[in-house]
Amino acid sequence: MSTVSQSSKLGNVLWPALAWIVALVFFFPIFWLVFTSFKTDADAVKPEFLFSFTPTLENYTNMTQNYDYWRFATNSVITSSFATLFALVVGVPAAYAMAFNPSRHTKDILMWMLSTKMLPAAAVLYPMTFLTKNLLSIYDTHFLVILVLCLINLPIVVWMLFTYFKEIPREIIEAGKMDGVSTWGEIKDILIPLAWGGIASTALLTFIFCWNEAYWTVRLTTIDAATLSTLIEGNRAPEGLFFGRLAAVSTAAVAPIVILGWFCQKQLVAGLTFGAVK
């Protein structure tokens, strides 16, 4: 008996210690990015200033003039928000129909939707450039970026919402029907309040995916609608020059989404199941 309690006592110390070490290792690269952003470009590459240096804010104060940060950030906010909103507007009714009035094709439709997500973007890059540039003249517009972000995330949105909606007892929705509530009323007054947590985490994840999207946003924009991904990809440091200012603009590019993620962490932990929990 005594060995058992001893080993569990040891476990009580070792277990959290191990968890903390793993967490700090995983967080370290982010810490290092932020840390480097407070060094001047010259200090950032000198080993003797690895930890002892005079912190400076100049990388941040010069960011607007070095990188035109705000323009790209504004584009990221606009395109990610509207794309998330539109994906939900299209996705909620679709997932509602699939979850509460499934037909024998529902599963196939859902699987087909997911399979469109498997379509490699690069395979259709040139046709998309051709269409948007030469035929529709919507290349490098907010409209195009919003549309594409909405479409590439729609399958995941519908799938996530479907798995949440399926958890809601059908009787509650049926009861609404008995009372003569319209379909719109069912969605607005019964479904959305009940599935609020699921909708919120779907929106959050979609927003994250939109903000971080780097393929289409970089390749379908040049200046007017370019987002933060374009800014970073276009300014990656050539062989270690400008580490300081690069770290600062990178920090500024990820900070909004990382902080949002921190605040909504509980929501994500509870909500991100993709129907994995039975």
Residues within window 8-27 making contact with another protein, judged by CB under 8 A: 12, 15-16, 18-20, 22-24, 26-27
Sign of CA dihedral 53, 54, 60, 66: negative
Size of the site for another protein (CB under 8 A): 95
Which stretch, 56-64, 65-73, 110-118, 190-198, contacts another protein (CB under 8 A)? 110-118
Chain residues 186-245 in contact with another protein, contact rule CB under 8 A: 208, 211-212, 214-215, 218, 228-229, 232-233, 236-237, 239-240, 243
Q: Which of 4, 122, 171, 180 binds another protein (CB under 8 A)?
A: 122
Q: Which of 111, 136, 172, 192 binds another protein (CB under 8 A)?
A: 111
Burial pattern 35-61, b for ≥16 Cβ within 10 A else e, equals bbbbbbbebbbeeeeeeebeeeeebbe
Which stretch, 52-60, 61-69, 104-112, 192-200, contacts another protein (CB under 8 A)? 104-112
Smallest gap from residue 175 Cβ to another protein (A): 16
Smallest gap from residue 142 Cβ to another protein (A): 18
Angstrom distance (rounded) from CA 134 to CA 119: 23
Chain residues 43-62 in contact with another protein, contact rule CB under 8 A: 45, 47, 50
Angstrom distance (rounded) from CA 105 to CA 44: 58
- Residue 55: strand, helix, or coil: coil
Nearer to another protein, 29 or 193 (CB): 29
Give the x/- contact pattern for another protein in 124-163, rule: CB under 8 A. xxxxx-xx-------------------x--xxx-x-----
Angstrom distance (rounded) from CA 216 to CA 79: 12
Distance linking the first and last C-alpha atoms of the chain? 37
Q: Which of 63, 83, 113, 173 binds another protein (CB under 8 A)?
A: 113
Chain residues 62-81 in contact with another protein, contact rule CB under 8 A: none
What tokens were used for 151? 């479409």
Q: Which of 106, 138, 181, 200 binds another protein (CB under 8 A)?
A: 106
Give the x/- contact pattern for another protein in 80-99, rule: CB under 8 A. ----------xx-xx-xxx-
Q: Does 178 bind another protein (CB under 8 A)?
A: no
Which stretch, 60-68, 77-85, 116-124, 190-198, contacts another protein (CB under 8 A)? 116-124
The 3-state secondary structure of 168-226, one letter per residue: CCHHHHHHHHHCCCCHHHHHHHHHHHHCHHHHHHHHHHHHHHHHHCCCHHHHCCCCCCC
Helix H segments across the chain? 2-36, 41-44, 58-61, 63-67, 69-100, 106-118, 125-130, 142-165, 170-178, 183-185, 192-194, 196-212, 216-219, 228-234, 243-263, 265-271
